[in-house]
Amino acid sequence: MLTQEENQRLTQTDPGTPMGELFRRFWLPAMLSTELPEPDCPPVKLRVLSEDLVAFRDSDGRVGALDRYCPHRGSSLYWGRNEEEGLRCVYHGWKFDVGGHCVDMPNEPAESRFKEKVSTGSYPTEERGGIIWIYMGPRELHPEMPELEWTRVPETYRYVTKRTQACNYLQNVEGEIDSSHISFLHARVAPVKRGAVDALAGAVQGFAASDRTPVFHVKDTDYGLMIGARRDAGEQGYYWRLTQFLMPAYTMIPSDAGAPISYTGATPVDDEHMVGWTVTWRPDRPLTSEDVARIESWTGIHSEVDGRTFRPIANVDNDYLIDRAKQREGSFTGIRGIREQDMAVQEDQWGPITRRDREHLGTTDLAVIAMRRRLLRAATRLQEGIEPPEAANGSVYRVRSIAVVLNRDVDWVSGTRPHTSAQA
């Protein structure tokens, strides 16, 4: 378990906190490009790492992310007029460009040069993969965009969704790298017979059902961690789920060879809220109509959300639409949708910031422990003046995850058999 101090260090991302400063060294996914659909469209409220911002697309299509409050008298620029290359405060007409420079002060004398002395906070943005990314760290560092494969394929090759989630970012990330829970949380069950001790046994299909105690292996990499969860596959060998954890809060979920690949990300809104990202893509061809229909059934890792707030339709206020009858006869949880099942246990986990000082971790929590250590180590090094190397090298993010059956003597990292004296 962690100490309370370590838990705070991991979960607090306000300006000036160790983890907050670490996150600010990376480009972070902030909003969908479709939220700012055209030049001079209405601005959008944005909150990232406990900072209140307003985003807008100017007349040339550039995206600005400004401090939400006008430096004149503090009125919200969200109410502003997006016009002629800038966002104009409706209180006194001061206008700011995407760089935060004041370009007009109509309530000052024409000969005044006061506007040249005034600016507001602004952050650089980039658009990649249907998402607007934001960088909130020191300008002189110039981090590289992560070269995630889905950001580099044509639009028809990928499907991107966004949701809000009422918990700390770390609860979500820990769930994404935990291949142990799939044998339970996302399982199917047979009708429960009277007196049955274990409704799951013999009812869930596949290796995750037959072996519910995976053996975890973790390898440190230059992008984060490669996590191997090994289950027994009988005469076929071992069933491996290889999950990628990519700094600071991205994961790639294992999928069978030939199936679409999936990415998830968590962007802290504040310490008790986050935005979750899910991307499904094919690297070599467009998603099929069957792929899209499967996603839009909302039974998998993409969540059906309110189109304005991005809050999932099934949420804590309606008990995630749990069906207790289905829980007895078809679903381990009675909650429809893998993503909603995840949210139920993540949002209601000793509150929005879970108490990791109360945990009792077991052998299948190895990946969670390793990920926490990686983040804590990176935050400590940053305080010592050592910048996170992942942020400076976008090419290290060119990786995939996979679920695969390997012979028992095949190395899970290299995919090769060890040399023997006979082979030599």
Q: Are 190 and 57 within one domain? A: no
Q: Are 397 and 260 within one domain? A: yes
Q: Are 161 and 99 within one domain? A: no
- What mean pLDDT value characterizes the chain? 93
Q: Are 153 and 231 within one domain? A: yes
Q: Are 250 and 331 within one domain? A: yes
- Residue 9 domain-assigned? no
User: Within 13 Å, how many C-alpha atoms sit on residue 8's CB side?
Assistant: 4
- The per-residue pLDDT for range 207-261, each reduced to its tens digit, is 777 889 999 999 999 999 999 999 998 888 999 999 999 999 999 999 888 899 9
- Residue 19 domain-assigned? no
Q: Are 290 and 381 within one domain? A: yes
What CATH number is given to the structural domain containing 125? 2.102.10.10
Q: Are 174 and 321 within one domain? A: yes
Boundaries of domain holding 81: 27-141
What CATH number is given to the structural domain containing 346? 3.90.380.10
Q: Which of 85, 106, 141 is the last residue of a domain?
A: 141
What percentage of the chain has pLDDT greater than the value 90? 88
Q: What is the pLDDT of residue 207?
A: 78
Range in 29-33, 57-61, 158-162, 200-204 with the lowest mean pLDDT: 200-204
Q: Are 252 and 374 within one domain? A: yes
- How far are the Cα atoms of 122, 135, 148, 250, 342 from residue 210, in angstroms, in the given order? 53, 45, 34, 29, 22
- Residue 320 domain-assigned? yes
CB 222 within 8 A of CB 365: no
Q: Are 135 and 177 within one domain? A: no
Q: What is the pLDDT of residue 190?
A: 62
- The per-residue pLDDT for range 170-192, each reduced to its tens digit, is 999 999 999 999 989 998 876 54
Q: Are 165 and 203 within one domain? A: yes
Q: Are 68 and 197 within one domain? A: no
Q: Are 127 and 256 within one domain? A: no
CA distance 295 to 288: 11
- Residue 57 domain-assigned? yes
- Residue 22 domain-assigned? no
Q: Token pair for residue 197?
A: 């001790």
CA distance 204 to 182: 11
- Residue 86 domain-assigned? yes
- Report if pTM > 0.85: yes
- The per-residue pLDDT for range 274-305, each reduced to its tens digit, is 999 999 999 999 999 999 999 999 999 999 99
- Residue 2 domain-assigned? no
Q: Which of 106, 141, 176 is the last residue of a domain?
A: 141
CB 352 within 8 A of CB 169: no
- Residue 18 domain-assigned? no
Q: Which of 108, 141, 174 is the last residue of a domain?
A: 141
In the chain, the number of structural domains is 2
Long-range contacts of 85-88 (CB under 8 A, 24+ apart): 85/58, 85/59, 85/60, 86/58, 87/43, 87/54, 87/56, 87/58
User: Residue 263: is its pLDDT beyond 80?
Assistant: yes
Placement of tokens 């999932």 in the chain: 312
**DSSP assignments along 56-121, one per residue:** EE-TTS-EEEEESB-TTT--BGGG-EEETTEEE-TTT--EE-TTSBEEE-TTS-TT--GGGG-B--
